[in-house]
Structure 1
Amino acid sequence: MSDDMAAERDFNQRNIEEFRRNGGKVGGPFEGFPLLLLTSTGAKSGEQRVSPVGYFDIDGRIYIVGSAAGRESSPGWVFNLRANPTASVEIGADPPRAVTARELPRDERDRIYATVVERAPGFGEYQQRTDRVIPVFELV
């Protein structure tokens, strides 16, 4: 594992622990941003993977965005959900609940992504940094 990957895993683990300790609240770069914990099944390993992911509640529906801050490849959880869309989420102090992830088709994705950018302009910058279409998933 590269040093960058190890540092990212440590960062995520600290945020996961803080989230669970504080009823869904996390400081640092995520402070004040709606965050959930997504537990997905590893596409290759089959192991359970927990990822802190920012989310958007748009018209009463929960969406997550595979931006990876505009890096050239999607975060690992995107590949996991594509391989196995059954997952669970923890939001706030609520217990984990089962969800199914539905990747949005391009027209629906573009409409929702515009709302995401209105609420969090950094996501517009992420899209500009990469040639890939940043995926959006609805959790149902």
Structure 2
Amino acid sequence: MRTPIWIYKARAGALLGSRLLMLEHIGRKSGARRYAVLEVLDHPDPDTYLIASGLGRKAQWFRNIRANPEVRVYAGSSAPTAATARILDQDEADRTLAAYRSRHAGTWEKLKPILEQTLDTEVTDTGTPVPIVELRLS
């Protein structure tokens, strides 16, 4: 579904709320700009967003940021902002996901079985198979 991408490109992302952002990344093979609309797990300060790869390490956007961590973030209706992506280590990822589960228990109840089916593994409190990425705005 491409509609959310056009909403962000039109700088109307605020219509989608503060729990989503659009990530612009560069294709690791094509060099072309690519876009993914993702849920924000946390926004601990004005320059930091934490997002997850629900498809695990095989998601194209995740593979692309591993190859080139220089990205742009579209949040709300603001102009895109340059950022650097950093994949969190296991302890950081576990803490981030635990905090998300605590804040959004109802969403987590619905999301967890989908993640487990998609990733073909159990999602537990430690050793999460869900990669978490920090986006630090420049």
TM-score (norm 1): 0.75
Aligned letter for 1:112? Answer: T
Distance in 1, Cα, partners of 2:11 & 2:78: 12
CA contact (8 A) 1:67 1:74 kept: no
Q: Alignment RMSD, CA only? A: 2.3
Aligned to 1:125: 113
Aligned to 2:135: 139
Distance in 2, Cα, partners of 1:103 & 1:54: 16
CA contact (8 A) 1:117 1:123 kept: no
Overall identity of the aligned pairs, in %? 29
Q: Deviations over 1:47-77 (max 9, x none)?
A: 1101111113343231010013xxx763210
Residue 94 of structure 1: SS of its match in structure 2? coil
Tell me how far 1:128 sits from its aligned partner: 2.7
Residue of structure 1 aligned with 2:30, choices 32, 36, 45: 45
Aligned to 2:69: 85
TM-score (norm 2): 0.76
Structure 2: unaligned runs, 5 residues or longer: 122-127
Alignment coverage as a number of residue pairs: 122
Q: Which has the higher contact order (CA 8 A, sep 6+)?
A: 2
Distance in 2, Cα, partners of 1:34 & 1:52: 10
Moved over 3 A (4+): 19-22
Structure 1: unaligned runs, 5 residues or longer: 1-10
